[in-house]
Amino acid sequence: MGRTAAEWNAPPKFPATHYVDSRLYTDEAIFGEEKEKLFRPSWIIACHESELPEAFDYRLFTHPAGVPLIVVRGDDARVRAFYNICPHRGNTILYDPSGNAKRMTCIFHQWSYDTRGNCVDITREEQGYQNRFSKKDVGLREVKCEVAYGGFVWVNLLDDCVPLREFIGGALDILEPYMQEPMELFHFHKARVRTNFKLWHDTNSEFYHDYMHYFNRITGMLQPGYFERKYTPFPNGHATVGSMQIQYDKYEGSKERAVGWPKMARGGWYMVDLFPGMTYNLRTSVMRIDTSIPLGPNEVLIEFRGLGLKRDTPEERAQRVFDHNTIWGPFGRNLHEDLLGVTGQGRAMRKGTDSRWVLQGREENSTIHDEVGMRHYYAEWSQRMGRPAYAPY
Amino acid sequence: MIKSEQRQAIEELVYRSCLALDSGDYKAFLDLCDEAFRYTITTHSAEIKRDMVWLDHDRKGMETLFTNLPHHNSDHSPLTRHATVYTVDLEGQEASVVSALQVFRTQLDGGATELFAVGRFHDTVKLDGGTAKLVKRVVRLDTRQLGYGYHIPF
Protein backbone atom coordinates (compact mmCIF):
# COMPACT_ATOMS: atom_id res chain seq x y z
CA MET A 1 0.00 0.00 0.00
CA GLY A 2 1.30 3.42 -0.93
CA ARG A 3 2.12 5.99 1.73
CA THR A 4 0.86 9.52 2.23
CA ALA A 5 3.14 12.55 2.24
CA ALA A 6 3.17 12.55 6.03
CA GLU A 7 4.11 8.91 6.14
CA TRP A 8 6.73 9.40 3.43
CA ASN A 9 8.33 12.25 5.37
CA ALA A 10 8.19 10.58 8.79
CA PRO A 11 11.53 9.32 10.07
CA PRO A 12 12.06 5.60 9.37
CA LYS A 13 11.35 3.12 12.12
CA PHE A 14 15.00 2.52 12.84
CA PRO A 15 17.47 3.96 15.32
CA ALA A 16 18.55 7.35 13.97
CA THR A 17 21.98 5.92 13.19
CA HIS A 18 20.38 3.60 10.63
CA TYR A 19 19.22 6.14 8.04
CA VAL A 20 20.34 9.44 6.57
CA ASP A 21 18.54 12.48 5.26
CA SER A 22 18.55 12.46 1.43
CA ARG A 23 19.40 16.13 1.38
CA LEU A 24 22.95 15.09 2.22
CA TYR A 25 23.26 14.24 -1.44
CA THR A 26 21.82 17.40 -2.96
CA ASP A 27 22.57 20.41 -0.79
CA GLU A 28 25.15 22.86 -2.18
CA ALA A 29 26.04 24.25 1.25
CA ILE A 30 26.61 20.81 2.71
CA PHE A 31 28.69 19.91 -0.31
CA GLY A 32 30.93 22.95 0.13
CA GLU A 33 31.37 22.12 3.77
CA GLU A 34 32.22 18.52 2.95
CA LYS A 35 35.07 19.59 0.71
CA GLU A 36 36.57 21.57 3.57
CA LYS A 37 35.82 19.26 6.49
CA LEU A 38 36.07 15.82 4.92
CA PHE A 39 38.45 16.07 1.99
CA ARG A 40 40.85 18.88 2.83
CA PRO A 41 42.12 17.29 6.07
CA SER A 42 42.21 13.73 4.68
CA TRP A 43 45.03 11.86 3.03
CA ILE A 44 44.06 11.22 -0.57
CA ILE A 45 45.53 8.90 -3.21
CA ALA A 46 46.82 11.06 -6.06
CA CYS A 47 48.39 8.35 -8.22
CA HIS A 48 50.64 5.29 -8.10
CA GLU A 49 54.41 5.41 -8.03
CA SER A 50 54.54 3.40 -11.27
CA GLU A 51 53.05 6.44 -13.00
CA LEU A 52 56.27 8.27 -12.16
CA PRO A 53 59.00 5.72 -12.89
CA GLU A 54 61.78 8.16 -13.87
CA ALA A 55 63.27 11.28 -12.35
CA PHE A 56 61.32 14.39 -13.39
CA ASP A 57 58.23 12.38 -14.32
CA TYR A 58 55.13 14.21 -13.21
CA ARG A 59 51.44 13.58 -12.94
CA LEU A 60 48.64 16.10 -12.49
CA PHE A 61 45.88 15.47 -9.98
CA THR A 62 42.91 17.56 -8.99
CA HIS A 63 42.51 17.16 -5.25
CA PRO A 64 38.89 16.49 -4.20
CA ALA A 65 38.95 19.75 -2.23
CA GLY A 66 39.46 21.47 -5.59
CA VAL A 67 43.18 22.19 -5.57
CA PRO A 68 45.14 21.39 -8.75
CA LEU A 69 48.31 19.48 -7.90
CA ILE A 70 51.53 18.43 -9.58
CA VAL A 71 52.99 15.17 -8.29
CA VAL A 72 56.59 14.92 -9.45
CA ARG A 73 59.57 12.67 -8.89
CA GLY A 74 62.69 14.67 -8.20
CA ASP A 75 66.30 14.09 -9.22
CA ASP A 76 66.72 12.51 -5.78
CA ALA A 77 63.94 10.00 -6.65
CA ARG A 78 61.69 11.47 -3.98
CA VAL A 79 58.08 12.12 -4.93
CA ARG A 80 56.75 15.54 -3.96
CA ALA A 81 53.51 17.38 -4.56
CA PHE A 82 52.90 21.05 -5.26
CA TYR A 83 50.04 23.30 -6.23
CA ASN A 84 49.86 23.55 -10.01
CA ILE A 85 49.50 27.29 -9.61
CA CYS A 86 52.18 29.78 -10.55
CA PRO A 87 52.81 32.11 -7.58
CA HIS A 88 53.27 34.99 -10.03
CA ARG A 89 49.94 35.51 -11.73
CA GLY A 90 48.07 32.40 -10.73
CA ASN A 91 48.40 30.59 -14.02
CA THR A 92 48.42 26.84 -14.50
CA ILE A 93 52.04 25.74 -14.65
CA LEU A 94 51.73 22.32 -16.28
CA TYR A 95 48.95 21.59 -18.71
CA ASP A 96 49.44 17.99 -19.90
CA PRO A 97 48.18 15.37 -17.45
CA SER A 98 51.57 13.68 -17.33
CA GLY A 99 55.07 14.17 -18.66
CA ASN A 100 58.70 14.66 -17.78
CA ALA A 101 59.80 18.14 -16.73
CA LYS A 102 63.28 18.91 -15.42
CA ARG A 103 62.07 22.45 -15.10
CA MET A 104 58.41 23.29 -14.67
CA THR A 105 57.98 26.51 -16.56
CA CYS A 106 54.88 28.65 -16.60
CA ILE A 107 54.03 29.48 -20.21
CA PHE A 108 52.73 32.91 -19.23
CA HIS A 109 55.95 34.75 -18.23
CA GLN A 110 58.41 31.85 -18.21
CA TRP A 111 58.91 31.70 -14.47
CA SER A 112 60.52 28.35 -13.85
CA TYR A 113 60.58 25.87 -10.94
CA ASP A 114 62.58 22.75 -10.17
CA THR A 115 61.18 19.47 -8.87
CA ARG A 116 61.86 20.50 -5.28
CA GLY A 117 59.61 23.52 -5.60
CA ASN A 118 62.33 26.13 -5.88
CA CYS A 119 61.81 28.98 -8.27
CA VAL A 120 64.92 28.82 -10.47
CA ASP A 121 64.21 31.53 -12.99
CA ILE A 122 62.33 34.80 -13.07
CA THR A 123 62.62 36.42 -16.45
CA ARG A 124 64.21 39.87 -16.22
CA GLU A 125 64.26 39.52 -12.45
CA GLU A 126 66.65 42.34 -11.60
CA GLN A 127 65.11 44.82 -14.00
CA GLY A 128 61.66 44.32 -12.59
CA TYR A 129 62.23 43.67 -8.91
CA GLN A 130 65.71 45.16 -8.25
CA ASN A 131 66.53 43.89 -4.75
CA ARG A 132 62.97 44.04 -3.43
CA PHE A 133 61.94 40.54 -4.39
CA SER A 134 63.65 37.42 -5.69
CA LYS A 135 63.28 33.77 -6.61
CA LYS A 136 63.54 32.67 -2.99
CA ASP A 137 60.29 34.48 -2.27
CA VAL A 138 58.24 32.50 -4.74
CA GLY A 139 58.73 28.78 -4.26
CA LEU A 140 55.81 26.55 -5.11
CA ARG A 141 53.29 25.69 -2.44
CA GLU A 142 54.27 22.19 -1.36
CA VAL A 143 51.79 19.77 0.17
CA LYS A 144 52.44 16.73 2.29
CA CYS A 145 53.23 13.70 0.19
CA GLU A 146 54.04 10.09 1.02
CA VAL A 147 54.44 6.91 -1.00
CA ALA A 148 52.92 4.07 0.99
CA TYR A 149 50.46 1.19 1.19
CA GLY A 150 51.28 -0.51 -2.07
CA GLY A 151 53.27 2.28 -3.67
CA PHE A 152 50.42 4.77 -3.84
CA VAL A 153 51.18 8.47 -3.70
CA TRP A 154 49.21 10.05 -0.88
CA VAL A 155 48.78 13.78 -0.50
CA ASN A 156 47.46 15.98 2.25
CA LEU A 157 46.80 19.70 1.92
CA LEU A 158 47.27 20.57 5.59
CA ASP A 159 50.68 21.53 6.95
CA ASP A 160 49.65 20.19 10.35
CA CYS A 161 47.83 17.05 9.20
CA VAL A 162 47.85 13.82 11.15
CA PRO A 163 50.44 11.29 9.97
CA LEU A 164 49.24 9.03 7.16
CA ARG A 165 49.55 5.93 9.34
CA GLU A 166 47.34 7.50 11.98
CA PHE A 167 44.79 8.46 9.34
CA ILE A 168 44.66 4.90 7.96
CA GLY A 169 44.35 3.57 11.51
CA GLY A 170 45.11 -0.04 10.64
CA ALA A 171 42.43 -0.31 7.96
CA LEU A 172 44.94 -1.45 5.35
CA ASP A 173 46.60 -4.06 7.56
CA ILE A 174 44.39 -6.70 5.99
CA LEU A 175 46.06 -6.02 2.63
CA GLU A 176 49.64 -5.64 3.88
CA PRO A 177 50.59 -9.27 3.13
CA TYR A 178 49.49 -8.75 -0.47
CA MET A 179 51.24 -5.46 -1.06
CA GLN A 180 54.80 -6.57 -0.41
CA GLU A 181 55.74 -6.86 -4.07
CA PRO A 182 55.94 -3.79 -6.31
CA MET A 183 52.78 -3.23 -8.30
CA GLU A 184 52.38 -1.58 -11.68
CA LEU A 185 49.49 0.28 -13.19
CA PHE A 186 48.01 -1.06 -16.40
CA HIS A 187 44.60 0.61 -16.42
CA PHE A 188 43.36 4.11 -15.82
CA HIS A 189 40.10 5.73 -16.73
CA LYS A 190 37.83 8.40 -15.39
CA ALA A 191 34.07 8.22 -15.17
CA ARG A 192 32.06 11.38 -14.69
CA VAL A 193 28.65 10.48 -13.35
CA ARG A 194 25.65 12.42 -12.14
CA THR A 195 25.52 11.30 -8.57
CA ASN A 196 26.83 12.29 -5.17
CA PHE A 197 30.30 11.02 -4.23
CA LYS A 198 28.95 9.44 -1.05
CA LEU A 199 26.55 7.29 -3.05
CA TRP A 200 29.51 5.83 -4.95
CA HIS A 201 31.28 5.16 -1.67
CA ASP A 202 28.09 3.62 -0.28
CA THR A 203 28.02 1.21 -3.19
CA ASN A 204 31.57 0.18 -2.43
CA SER A 205 30.65 -0.12 1.25
CA GLU A 206 27.81 -2.62 0.98
CA PHE A 207 27.44 -5.94 -0.80
CA TYR A 208 23.67 -6.20 -0.49
CA HIS A 209 23.59 -4.71 -3.98
CA ASP A 210 25.17 -7.92 -5.32
CA TYR A 211 21.58 -8.60 -6.34
CA MET A 212 22.25 -6.09 -9.12
CA HIS A 213 25.25 -8.06 -10.38
CA TYR A 214 24.51 -11.32 -12.15
CA PHE A 215 28.24 -12.03 -12.16
CA ASN A 216 28.50 -11.66 -8.37
CA ARG A 217 25.34 -13.62 -7.69
CA ILE A 218 26.54 -16.56 -9.73
CA THR A 219 30.19 -16.55 -8.70
CA GLY A 220 29.76 -15.32 -5.13
CA MET A 221 26.37 -15.12 -3.51
CA LEU A 222 25.35 -18.63 -4.49
CA GLN A 223 28.67 -20.09 -3.35
CA PRO A 224 29.85 -21.32 0.06
CA GLY A 225 31.44 -18.74 2.31
CA TYR A 226 29.71 -15.71 0.83
CA PHE A 227 27.51 -14.97 3.82
CA GLU A 228 30.41 -15.39 6.23
CA ARG A 229 32.32 -12.40 4.80
CA LYS A 230 32.47 -9.79 7.52
CA TYR A 231 32.85 -6.06 7.79
CA THR A 232 35.34 -4.62 10.21
CA PRO A 233 35.13 -0.93 11.05
CA PHE A 234 38.28 1.09 11.66
CA PRO A 235 38.94 4.53 13.07
CA ASN A 236 38.34 7.57 10.88
CA GLY A 237 35.43 6.06 8.96
CA HIS A 238 37.30 3.28 7.17
CA ALA A 239 36.02 -0.30 6.86
CA THR A 240 37.22 -3.60 5.45
CA VAL A 241 35.49 -6.65 4.04
CA GLY A 242 36.93 -10.12 4.55
CA SER A 243 37.54 -12.62 1.76
CA MET A 244 35.90 -15.74 0.35
CA GLN A 245 36.64 -17.99 -2.60
CA ILE A 246 34.97 -16.63 -5.70
CA GLN A 247 33.87 -19.36 -8.14
CA TYR A 248 34.63 -17.63 -11.42
CA ASP A 249 33.89 -20.72 -13.48
CA LYS A 250 30.21 -20.53 -12.55
CA TYR A 251 29.69 -17.61 -14.95
CA GLU A 252 29.18 -18.81 -18.50
CA GLY A 253 32.22 -18.04 -20.60
CA SER A 254 34.35 -17.42 -17.54
CA LYS A 255 36.77 -19.78 -15.89
CA GLU A 256 38.79 -20.08 -12.74
CA ARG A 257 41.35 -17.31 -12.64
CA ALA A 258 44.59 -18.59 -14.15
CA VAL A 259 46.64 -15.94 -12.41
CA GLY A 260 46.35 -15.24 -8.72
CA TRP A 261 48.02 -12.89 -6.30
CA PRO A 262 51.04 -13.70 -4.13
CA LYS A 263 50.09 -15.15 -0.74
CA MET A 264 46.35 -14.79 -1.40
CA ALA A 265 44.14 -17.87 -1.34
CA ARG A 266 42.70 -18.95 -4.69
CA GLY A 267 39.77 -16.81 -5.77
CA GLY A 268 40.24 -14.41 -2.85
CA TRP A 269 38.71 -10.95 -2.67
CA TYR A 270 39.38 -8.22 -0.13
CA MET A 271 38.01 -4.69 -0.03
CA VAL A 272 39.02 -1.70 2.03
CA ASP A 273 36.89 1.43 1.94
CA LEU A 274 38.70 4.53 3.03
CA PHE A 275 36.98 7.66 4.20
CA PRO A 276 35.96 9.94 2.57
CA GLY A 277 36.05 8.41 -0.93
CA MET A 278 38.69 5.81 -1.82
CA THR A 279 38.57 2.04 -2.16
CA TYR A 280 41.20 -0.69 -2.40
CA ASN A 281 39.70 -3.69 -4.13
CA LEU A 282 41.96 -6.74 -4.46
CA ARG A 283 40.07 -9.33 -6.39
CA THR A 284 42.05 -12.51 -7.12
CA SER A 285 44.34 -11.27 -9.87
CA VAL A 286 43.87 -7.51 -9.95
CA MET A 287 44.13 -4.59 -7.57
CA ARG A 288 41.60 -1.85 -8.32
CA ILE A 289 41.70 1.56 -6.71
CA ASP A 290 38.84 4.05 -6.83
CA THR A 291 39.39 7.70 -6.02
CA SER A 292 36.36 9.98 -5.96
CA ILE A 293 36.72 13.62 -6.88
CA PRO A 294 33.42 15.35 -6.16
CA LEU A 295 32.48 18.02 -8.66
CA GLY A 296 29.17 19.07 -7.15
CA PRO A 297 26.43 17.71 -4.93
CA ASN A 298 25.18 15.62 -7.82
CA GLU A 299 28.31 15.03 -9.86
CA VAL A 300 31.44 13.05 -9.22
CA LEU A 301 34.52 12.17 -11.21
CA ILE A 302 35.84 8.76 -10.28
CA GLU A 303 39.38 7.73 -11.15
CA PHE A 304 39.70 3.99 -11.67
CA ARG A 305 43.07 2.29 -11.58
CA GLY A 306 43.91 -1.34 -12.32
CA LEU A 307 47.22 -2.81 -11.20
CA GLY A 308 49.17 -6.01 -11.54
CA LEU A 309 52.62 -6.94 -10.36
CA LYS A 310 55.68 -5.23 -11.74
CA ARG A 311 57.29 -8.63 -12.30
CA ASP A 312 54.42 -9.95 -14.43
CA THR A 313 55.33 -11.84 -17.57
CA PRO A 314 53.52 -10.57 -20.67
CA GLU A 315 51.20 -13.57 -20.41
CA GLU A 316 50.40 -12.92 -16.76
CA ARG A 317 49.79 -9.26 -17.43
CA ALA A 318 47.49 -10.04 -20.35
CA GLN A 319 45.48 -12.34 -18.10
CA ARG A 320 45.17 -9.69 -15.40
CA VAL A 321 44.04 -7.16 -17.99
CA PHE A 322 41.46 -9.63 -19.27
CA ASP A 323 40.22 -10.39 -15.75
CA HIS A 324 40.02 -6.69 -14.98
CA ASN A 325 38.11 -5.84 -18.13
CA THR A 326 35.62 -8.66 -17.72
CA ILE A 327 34.06 -7.02 -14.70
CA TRP A 328 35.70 -3.66 -14.09
CA GLY A 329 36.57 -2.11 -17.45
CA PRO A 330 34.36 0.56 -19.04
CA PHE A 331 32.73 -2.32 -20.94
CA GLY A 332 32.89 -4.69 -17.97
CA ARG A 333 29.88 -6.50 -16.56
CA ASN A 334 29.95 -5.06 -13.03
CA LEU A 335 31.27 -1.52 -13.33
CA HIS A 336 28.56 -0.47 -15.76
CA GLU A 337 25.92 -1.87 -13.43
CA ASP A 338 27.39 -0.11 -10.40
CA LEU A 339 27.67 3.21 -12.21
CA LEU A 340 24.20 2.84 -13.66
CA GLY A 341 22.87 2.14 -10.17
CA VAL A 342 24.35 5.24 -8.58
CA THR A 343 23.33 7.35 -11.57
CA GLY A 344 19.78 6.21 -10.91
CA GLN A 345 20.15 7.28 -7.28
CA GLY A 346 21.47 10.63 -8.46
CA ARG A 347 18.45 11.02 -10.71
CA ALA A 348 15.98 10.13 -7.98
CA MET A 349 17.67 12.34 -5.39
CA ARG A 350 18.08 15.51 -7.41
CA LYS A 351 17.10 18.62 -5.56
CA GLY A 352 13.33 18.92 -5.58
CA THR A 353 12.49 15.27 -6.17
CA ASP A 354 11.21 14.88 -2.61
CA SER A 355 13.48 11.95 -1.94
CA ARG A 356 13.56 11.91 1.84
CA TRP A 357 15.53 9.14 3.49
CA VAL A 358 18.17 6.58 2.67
CA LEU A 359 17.89 3.45 4.78
CA GLN A 360 20.90 1.68 6.22
CA GLY A 361 19.01 -0.56 8.61
CA ARG A 362 20.22 -4.08 7.80
CA GLU A 363 21.81 -5.87 10.74
CA GLU A 364 23.28 -9.31 10.11
CA ASN A 365 26.05 -9.59 12.66
CA SER A 366 28.34 -7.43 10.46
CA THR A 367 28.28 -10.04 7.68
CA ILE A 368 28.17 -9.27 4.01
CA HIS A 369 24.60 -7.94 3.70
CA ASP A 370 24.78 -5.96 6.92
CA GLU A 371 24.83 -2.22 6.24
CA VAL A 372 27.27 -1.51 9.03
CA GLY A 373 29.90 -0.28 6.55
CA MET A 374 27.69 2.63 5.53
CA ARG A 375 26.60 3.35 9.09
CA HIS A 376 30.22 3.51 10.14
CA TYR A 377 30.94 5.97 7.32
CA TYR A 378 28.09 8.26 8.30
CA ALA A 379 29.08 8.16 11.96
CA GLU A 380 32.41 9.63 10.89
CA TRP A 381 30.65 12.04 8.54
CA SER A 382 28.47 13.24 11.43
CA GLN A 383 31.44 13.68 13.72
CA ARG A 384 33.43 15.68 11.18
CA MET A 385 30.51 17.75 9.99
CA GLY A 386 29.32 18.46 13.54
CA ARG A 387 25.76 17.33 12.86
CA PRO A 388 23.99 14.00 12.55
CA ALA A 389 23.55 12.59 9.04
CA TYR A 390 19.92 11.80 9.84
CA ALA A 391 19.18 15.45 10.76
CA PRO A 392 21.72 17.71 9.05
CA TYR A 393 19.73 20.94 9.53
CA MET B 1 45.12 -2.63 -57.20
CA ILE B 2 41.81 -3.14 -55.51
CA LYS B 3 38.82 -3.59 -57.74
CA SER B 4 35.81 -1.39 -57.19
CA GLU B 5 33.61 -4.37 -56.40
CA GLN B 6 36.12 -5.55 -53.79
CA ARG B 7 36.18 -2.10 -52.20
CA GLN B 8 32.41 -2.00 -52.30
CA ALA B 9 32.16 -5.40 -50.58
CA ILE B 10 34.55 -4.27 -47.86
CA GLU B 11 32.78 -0.98 -47.26
CA GLU B 12 29.46 -2.74 -47.11
CA LEU B 13 30.85 -5.19 -44.58
CA VAL B 14 31.94 -2.34 -42.30
CA TYR B 15 28.61 -0.58 -42.62
CA ARG B 16 26.60 -3.77 -42.12
CA SER B 17 28.57 -4.51 -38.98
CA CYS B 18 27.46 -1.14 -37.60
CA LEU B 19 23.87 -1.69 -38.59
CA ALA B 20 23.80 -5.14 -37.03
CA LEU B 21 25.16 -3.92 -33.69
CA ASP B 22 22.95 -0.83 -33.75
CA SER B 23 19.89 -3.01 -34.07
CA GLY B 24 21.06 -5.53 -31.48
CA ASP B 25 21.15 -8.27 -34.09
CA TYR B 26 24.19 -10.06 -32.73
CA LYS B 27 23.70 -13.11 -34.89
CA ALA B 28 23.83 -10.90 -37.97
CA PHE B 29 27.00 -9.29 -36.64
CA LEU B 30 28.68 -12.63 -35.98
CA ASP B 31 27.61 -13.84 -39.43
CA LEU B 32 29.83 -11.08 -40.81
CA CYS B 33 32.78 -12.45 -38.86
CA ASP B 34 35.22 -15.18 -39.73
CA GLU B 35 35.59 -18.22 -37.45
CA ALA B 36 38.98 -16.82 -36.40
CA PHE B 37 37.45 -13.43 -35.54
CA ARG B 38 39.04 -11.40 -32.78
CA TYR B 39 37.60 -8.18 -31.37
CA THR B 40 39.59 -5.71 -29.30
CA ILE B 41 38.98 -2.25 -27.90
CA THR B 42 42.12 -0.28 -27.21
CA THR B 43 42.98 3.27 -26.26
CA HIS B 44 45.98 5.28 -25.26
CA SER B 45 45.99 7.00 -21.91
CA ALA B 46 47.60 10.41 -21.98
CA GLU B 47 47.50 10.30 -18.19
CA ILE B 48 49.54 7.16 -17.65
CA LYS B 49 51.27 7.21 -21.04
CA ARG B 50 50.27 3.65 -21.82
CA ASP B 51 48.27 1.82 -24.43
CA MET B 52 45.42 0.03 -22.75
CA VAL B 53 43.20 -2.84 -23.78
CA TRP B 54 39.61 -2.38 -22.62
CA LEU B 55 38.07 -5.46 -24.20
CA ASP B 56 39.53 -8.46 -25.97
CA HIS B 57 37.52 -11.46 -27.16
CA ASP B 58 37.69 -14.17 -29.75
CA ARG B 59 34.54 -15.12 -31.61
CA LYS B 60 33.42 -17.48 -28.87
CA GLY B 61 34.00 -14.77 -26.28
CA MET B 62 31.88 -12.34 -28.26
CA GLU B 63 29.12 -14.90 -28.57
CA THR B 64 29.15 -15.42 -24.82
CA LEU B 65 29.17 -11.70 -24.17
CA PHE B 66 26.05 -11.32 -26.30
CA THR B 67 24.39 -14.40 -24.81
CA ASN B 68 24.91 -13.18 -21.26
CA LEU B 69 23.53 -9.70 -21.92
CA PRO B 70 19.94 -10.48 -20.85
CA HIS B 71 21.20 -11.53 -17.40
CA HIS B 72 22.71 -8.15 -16.75
CA ASN B 73 21.37 -4.72 -15.86
CA SER B 74 22.32 -2.50 -18.75
CA ASP B 75 21.69 0.95 -20.09
CA HIS B 76 19.11 0.45 -22.82
CA SER B 77 19.76 3.71 -24.65
CA PRO B 78 20.40 2.71 -28.25
CA LEU B 79 23.70 3.48 -29.93
CA THR B 80 24.18 4.70 -33.48
CA ARG B 81 27.53 3.81 -34.96
CA HIS B 82 28.63 6.05 -37.79
CA ALA B 83 31.58 4.73 -39.76
CA THR B 84 33.36 6.12 -42.78
CA VAL B 85 35.81 3.88 -44.55
CA TYR B 86 38.99 5.86 -45.05
CA THR B 87 41.54 3.43 -46.45
CA VAL B 88 41.57 -0.09 -47.83
CA ASP B 89 44.91 -1.78 -48.41
CA LEU B 90 44.57 -5.11 -50.12
CA GLU B 91 47.27 -7.74 -50.02
CA GLY B 92 46.28 -10.99 -51.65
CA GLN B 93 42.89 -11.85 -50.31
CA GLU B 94 43.25 -9.90 -47.07
CA ALA B 95 42.59 -6.21 -46.63
CA SER B 96 43.58 -3.80 -43.90
CA VAL B 97 40.76 -1.32 -43.52
CA VAL B 98 40.76 1.88 -41.50
CA SER B 99 37.46 3.62 -40.79
CA ALA B 100 36.53 6.64 -38.77
CA LEU B 101 34.00 5.90 -36.05
CA GLN B 102 31.58 8.07 -34.16
CA VAL B 103 29.16 6.56 -31.70
CA PHE B 104 26.06 8.44 -30.66
CA ARG B 105 23.78 7.54 -27.79
CA THR B 106 20.10 8.42 -27.81
CA GLN B 107 18.23 8.63 -24.53
CA LEU B 108 15.08 6.54 -24.43
CA ASP B 109 13.25 9.20 -22.47
CA GLY B 110 12.92 12.23 -24.72
CA GLY B 111 15.20 11.01 -27.48
CA ALA B 112 18.09 13.40 -26.92
CA THR B 113 21.20 12.29 -28.76
CA GLU B 114 24.71 12.87 -27.56
CA LEU B 115 28.09 12.03 -28.94
CA PHE B 116 29.27 9.05 -26.91
CA ALA B 117 32.66 8.19 -28.39
CA VAL B 118 34.98 8.73 -31.31
CA GLY B 119 37.72 6.50 -32.60
CA ARG B 120 38.64 4.28 -35.49
CA PHE B 121 38.03 0.77 -36.66
CA HIS B 122 41.19 -1.03 -37.73
CA ASP B 123 39.74 -4.05 -39.47
CA THR B 124 41.30 -7.04 -41.13
CA VAL B 125 38.97 -8.35 -43.79
CA LYS B 126 39.21 -11.62 -45.66
CA LEU B 127 37.91 -11.71 -49.21
CA ASP B 128 36.67 -15.02 -50.45
CA GLY B 129 35.17 -14.76 -53.89
CA GLY B 130 32.56 -12.06 -53.60
CA THR B 131 32.26 -12.42 -49.84
CA ALA B 132 34.02 -10.26 -47.28
CA LYS B 133 34.41 -11.41 -43.65
CA LEU B 134 35.81 -9.67 -40.62
CA VAL B 135 38.85 -11.50 -39.30
CA LYS B 136 39.91 -8.90 -36.81
CA ARG B 137 38.50 -5.66 -35.51
CA VAL B 138 40.51 -3.33 -33.32
CA VAL B 139 38.49 -0.36 -32.11
CA ARG B 140 40.96 2.35 -31.20
CA LEU B 141 39.09 4.81 -29.06
CA ASP B 142 40.07 8.43 -28.72
CA THR B 143 37.30 8.93 -26.19
CA ARG B 144 38.22 7.63 -22.76
CA GLN B 145 35.44 9.09 -20.66
CA LEU B 146 32.37 6.99 -21.22
CA GLY B 147 30.36 8.02 -18.19
CA TYR B 148 28.67 4.94 -16.78
CA GLY B 149 29.97 2.85 -19.66
CA TYR B 150 28.12 0.36 -21.81
CA HIS B 151 27.78 -3.40 -22.02
CA ILE B 152 27.72 -3.74 -25.77
CA PRO B 153 30.92 -3.20 -27.75
CA PHE B 154 31.19 -0.65 -30.51
| Digit-coded pLDDT (tens) for B63-114 | 999 999 999 999 999 999 999 999 999 999 999 999 999 999 999 999 999 9
User: Residue A253: pLDDT band by 50, 70, 90 thresholds?
Assistant: confident
- A68 shares a domain with A203: no
The predicted structure's pLDDT at residue B58: 97
Final residue in a domain of this structure, among A160, A188, A208: A160
- Same domain for A220 and A293, yes or no, is yes
Interchain CB distance below 8 Å, A340 and B74: yes
Checking if the pLDDT of A195 tops 90, the result is: yes
The 3-state secondary structure of chain B, one letter per residue: CCCHHHHHHHHHHHHHHHHHHHCCCHHHHHHCEEEEEEEEEEEEECCCCEEEEEEEEEHHHHHHHHHHHHHCCCCCCCEEEEEEEEEEEEECCEEEEEEEEEEEEECCCCCCEEEEEEEEEEEEEEEECCEEEEEEEEEEECCCCCCCCCCCCC
Q: Which among B54, B56, B67 has CB closest to A252?
A: B67
What rounded mean pLDDT belongs to chain B? 97
Residue A257 confidence (pLDDT): 84
For chains A and B, count residue pairs whose Cβ atoms are closer than 8 Å. Answer: 100
**pLDDT 10s digits, A146-183:** 999 999 999 999 999 999 999 999 999 999 999 999 99
Question: Residue B130's pLDDT is what?
Answer: 81
What is the pLDDT, as a whole number, of residue A255?
82
Provide the shortest C-alpha distance from residue A103 to chain B (in Å): 19
CB contact under 8 A, B56 and A339: no
Chain B contacts of A252, Cβ < 8 Å? 64, 67-68
Q: Are residues A55 and A204 in the same domain?
A: no
Each residue of A96-145: pLDDT tens digit?
999 999 999 999 999 999 999 999 999 999 999 999 999 999 999 999 99
Chain-wide mean pLDDT for chain A? Answer: 97
ipTM value: 0.96
Question: Sorting pLDDT into bands at 50, 70 and 90, what band is A258?
Answer: confident
Domain stops at, among A160, A190, A210: A160
Contact B144 A190 (CB under 8 A): yes
- CATH says B4-141 is which class? alpha beta
Task: Say if A166 falls within a structural domain.
Answer: no
Give me the residues paired with residue B45 across strands.
B50
How far is residue A140's CA from residue A128's CA, in Å, rounded to a whole number?
A: 20
Same domain, A233 and A141: no
Mean pLDDT calculated for residue range A301-325: 97
The domain boundary residue, chosen from A115, A132, A160: A160
The per-residue pLDDT for A318 is: 97
Domain count for chain A: 2
Q: Are residues A201 and A80 part of one domain?
A: no
SS3 for A20?
strand
Query: CATH number of the domain that A266 lies in?
Result: 3.90.380.10
- From chain B, the residues in CB contact with A331 under 8 A are 41, 54-55, 149-151, 153
Do A230 and A331 belong together in one domain? yes
Model pLDDT for residues B44-64, shown as the tens digit of each residue:
999 999 999 999 999 999 999
How many angstroms separate the CA atoms of A390 and A133, rounded? Answer: 53
Together in a domain, A197 and A345 = yes
Say if A210 falls within a structural domain.
Answer: yes
Where do the DSSP E strands lie in chain A? 19-21, 44-48, 57-62, 68-73, 79-83, 98-100, 104-105, 112-113, 119-121, 142-148, 152-156, 183-193, 231-233, 239-241, 269-274, 278-283, 286-296, 299-309, 357-359
CATH code of the domain containing A155: 2.102.10.10
B16 pLDDT band (50/70/90 cuts)?
very high
pLDDT for residue A29? 97
Q: A131 and A119 share a domain?
A: yes
- Domain match, A114 and A257 both: no
pLDDT of residue A256: 83
Residue B47 to residue A188, Cβ atoms within 8 A: yes
Q: Is residue A392 part of a domain?
A: no
Mark whether A242 and A103 lie in a shared domain.
Answer: no
Structure confidence by residue, pLDDT tens digits, A7-56: 999 999 999 999 999 999 999 999 999 999 999 999 999 999 999 999 99
Q: How confident is the model at residue A254 (pLDDT cuts 50, 70, 90)?
A: confident
Mean pLDDT of A363-382: 97
For residue A194, give the chain B residue with the closest CA. Answer: B147
Residue A393 located in a structural domain: no
Amino acid of residue B27 = K
Judgement on whether residues A56 and A30 belong to the same structural domain of the protein? no
Confidence at residue B88, expressed as pLDDT on a 0 to 100 scale: 97
Residue A208: domain span: 6-40+171-385
Contacts of B41 in chain A (CB under 8 A): 331
A92 and A213 belong to one structural domain: no
Q: Which of B50, B54, B144 sits opposite A331 (nearest CB)?
A: B54
